[in-house]
Amino acid sequence: MSGNTRKKVVIVGGGFGGIYAALELDKWLFRHPGVDVTIVNRDNFFLFTPMLHEVAASDLDITNIVNPVRKLVSDVEFFDGDVEKVDLRAQTVTVSHGDGHTHDLPYDHLVLSPGSVTNFFGLPGLEEKAITMKSLGDAIALRNRMIQQLEEAETECGAPDRDHLMTFVVAGGGFAGVETIAGMNDFVHQALRFYPHIPYEKVRMILVHPGEVILPELSEKLGRYAQQKLEERGVEIRKKTKVAAVTERGVRLSDGTEIEAATVIWTAGTQPNPLMKTLPCRLEKGRVCVDEYLRVPDWPGVWALGDCALVPNTMTGGFHPPTAQHAIRQGRVLAHNILAELRGSPKRPFSFRTIGQLASLGRRTGVAQILGFHFSGFVAWWMWRTIYLMKLPRLEKRLRVALDWTWDLIFSKDLVKFLSRRKDTISQPQEEVRDVMARAAG
């Protein structure tokens, strides 16, 4: 960092990798004013995705699992916008905001961490009709859909269609799918006492999974335990099956079965952000290849991490999985390596072994695999809540979540739909109002 030229670092993406790289750089910036760091993200908050299903199931308030980026960092600049283009040769990032106004942000070091997007695999009707579980908006949409279906099925005119309205299909038996259907199952069944015209047996929760045992990321024993618990609570698990298409009335499965369902949730596939395909870097399955220092080969000053990066595992000869716990640590190592590059000091290779994985199954049960040890039931559920609560950024949000969980033990779940549109200021069309006023005047 010799001379008077200020070095510019641009971070693309505000997920786990990008945010933790920014947090690490932010700790260092006040001592080194010659570096400008900017993080670009289309949302002005960091979403703590492990708790997303709890927002959908009305366990947590919608704002308690998000942190405004500007409250997380003090010396890092934040740009709320969409990345339109990355020009590695010109070393600029083109960002748009507002009504399409664009800016070219120059950089000396670029951090690529745009994350992943949903992969619909080109299946008919899936993208148009299914709800995904990737964003805060998705969780709110799912919560609204469940409440709307309950309200519709409760009415007299909705009675003939109750089977259809009260059938929910979740595609994908990984962590997202299992935790989502567990939360949905609890929410809908606890809500039924406020909807006396909907019989308990009308509710169908169906989990579609291509494998023999759900939660393949964990041991088979824990997967079978989770399967047993869900089935005891009435969840139907269709194993060795995939969703082949989403129809007007439901889904068609790969075995030819047609299921009438008003709600379909897709958690069965992701792919790296399409931005990566526009870059002249070496890619494998859409992910940019990096070395053990998280550098993009042949492009000095370009770094990548998280879901969009293929990070080599020097211990196994393979690659690190794209999980949040890896992205967090990659962000910290990457920040250290950028600073080392600026100072001319040795860089640190990324090396990390998965500590463990946990899943919540609802009703105070869970499964956990930590450092080779297996846990299930209440202990695993308590570990899930404790570990993720401590990982949630900022004390304020941890206290809010802990308070929400406490209220959830005492009170029933909230059944309020969150509407994003403005309500009309009058209850009648203006023409009718004018007619009424004219008659009154006459």
Q: Apex CA 261: angle with CA 242 and CA 234, to 5°?
A: 80
Q: Say if residues 66 and 46 touch (Cβ distance below 8 Å).
A: yes
Compute φ and ψ for 336, nearest 5 degrees.
-60, -40
What mean pLDDT is predicted for residues 66-80?
96
Is the Cα torsion angle 399, 400, 402, 407 positive or negative in sign?
positive
Which residue from 268, 267, 285 is spatially nearest to 276, judged by alpha carbons? 285
**Fold identical between 7-42+81-118+271-343 and 126-268+356-410?**
yes
State which amino acid sits at residue 292.
Answer: E
Per-residue model confidence (pLDDT) at position 221: 96
If you average pLDDT over each of 3-12, 342-351, 411-420, which comes out highest? 342-351
Count the alpha carbons within 13 Å of 206 in the hemisphere toward its beta carbon.
Answer: 26
Both tokens of 184, joined, read 């949905």
CATH 3.40.1410.10 correct for 7-42+81-118+271-343: no
Q: Is the pLDDT of residue 441 over 80?
A: no
Question: Tell me: the pLDDT tens digits for 350-409?
Answer: 999 999 999 999 999 999 999 999 999 999 999 999 999 999 999 999 999 999 999 998
- Protein fold of 126-268+356-410: FAD/NAD(P)-binding domain (3.50.50)
What mean pLDDT is predicted for residues 291-305?
97
- pLDDT band for 440, please (50, 70, 90 cuts): very low
Question: Tell me: the pLDDT tens digits for 170-228?
Answer: 999 999 999 999 999 999 999 999 999 999 999 999 999 999 999 999 999 999 999 99
Q: Say if residues 218 and 367 touch (Cβ distance below 8 Å).
A: yes
Q: Is the pLDDT of residue 3 over 70?
A: no
Label the pairing between strands 263-266 and 131-132: parallel
What mean pLDDT is predicted for residues 158-172?
96
pTM, 2 dp: 0.91
Where exactly are the structural domains of the chain? 7-42+81-118+271-343, 126-268+356-410
Per-residue model confidence (pLDDT) at position 431: 56
Q: Is the pLDDT of residue 165 over 70?
A: yes
Question: Tell me: the pLDDT tens digits for 324-351?
Answer: 999 999 999 999 999 999 989 999 999 9
What mean pLDDT is predicted for residues 294-301?
96
Question: Tell me: the pLDDT tens digits for 113-156?
Answer: 999 999 999 999 999 999 999 999 999 999 999 999 999 999 99
Label the pairing between strands 82-87 and 77-80: unpaired
Helices of type H across 155-174? 162-165
Compute φ and ψ for 260, nearest 5 degrees.
-80, 115
Residue 282, Cβ neighbours under 10 Å: how many?
14
Which residues make Cβ contacts (< 8 Å) with residue 239, sequence separation at least 6? 209, 211, 212, 213
- pLDDT band for 52, please (50, 70, 90 cuts): very high
Any idea what DSSP says for residue 123?
-
Between helices 175-191 and 220-232, what is the axis angle to 10°?
A: 20
Label the pairing between strands 92-97 and 82-87: antiparallel
What mean pLDDT is predicted for residues 76-94?
96
